[in-house]
Amino acid sequence: MMGKRQRFLAALGAYLVGGMVFGVLVGCAVGGAPEPSPTATTPPPTPTPERWVLEWEDDFSQDIRESNNWLFDKGASGWGNREWQYYTDRPENARVEDGVLILEARNEEYSAWSYTSARIKTQYMHAWTYGRVEARIKLPPGGKGIWPAFWMLGEDIATKGWPECGEIDIMENIGNPREVYGTVHGPGYSGAGGIDGRFVSDVSLAEDFHIYAIEWTPDDIRWYVDETQYHQVFREHVPGEWVFDHPFFILLNVAVGGEWPGYPDETTPFPQQMLVDYVRVYRDTTLTLPSP
């Protein structure tokens, strides 16, 4: 049995432990958790800016004839490729419906030509040097002789001529809706000697919209379909002068016939429509460019 001394010591221990617990509980209730000792604080990290910042876009919310973004090329001269279409500015060939640009090639008699279509450009209105240039496009169903394109020409074409002005073909299709091409043309590597890459899709690119883009820097140009890069050209690898350090303007068109795609025949369906949801140009924030 426990003696008086042992009982006294046990009671004293219980009293002391209980007091400590009570003190902790009261301290938490009144003052909360104790403040940590002051330490040197680390400043929050500086947010990394997005590399690509939107600089210009056309989402086709109004008719292209009423916007300040596009001009029409008109006429029929073969356009340097022995093409068969007459380009017009008629709504039958170029119009906006429900926020989508429609460029339509038609088999019809017009001004002594058997085909009409449309070709629009930002020349004299907008031009850019470097950046990401993209468009969300649904290709026409295709067939022999159908040649839709999303491309760029050097702004100095009027004074230097082609190919010294440079040409960047962001997307070209020559009738097979599963294939598109990306190409550059310059002095010493133009026409059939252009430096090209080909993207082959598992599905028809005429079934839905896809994003066709380039990312263009002073050192290289890269081509994309949606998120897939399929081609790259480096400054030091072109077999002639690199002519891609000055402003370029954008073109969109659907050609009919030409030396590269061949010519339509009885198997080629018409009309053929290329649908464009938007065109966007992004500035590259990693580049520091001199003031114009």
167 is catalytic: yes
The structure tokens listed for 110 are 């017009």
Q: Strand, helix or coil at 285?
A: coil
CB neighbours of residue 113 within 10 Å: 15
Contacts of 248 (CB under 8 A, 6+ apart): 127, 128, 129, 152, 153, 154, 155, 166, 168
Question: CA end-to-end span of the chain, whole Å?
Answer: 101
The structure tokens listed for 252 are 């969109």
Residue 277, classified by CB atoms within 10 Å of its CB into exposed (0-12), middle (13-18) or buried (19+), is middle
Active-site annotation holder among 172, 179, 236, 259: 172
- Token pair 């019809």 is at which residue? 108
What is the Cα–Cα distance from 229 to 124, expressed in whole angstroms? 31
Contacts of 188 (CB under 8 A, 6+ apart): 238, 239, 240, 241
Active-site annotation holder among 83, 134, 167, 215: 167
Catalytic residues: 167, 172
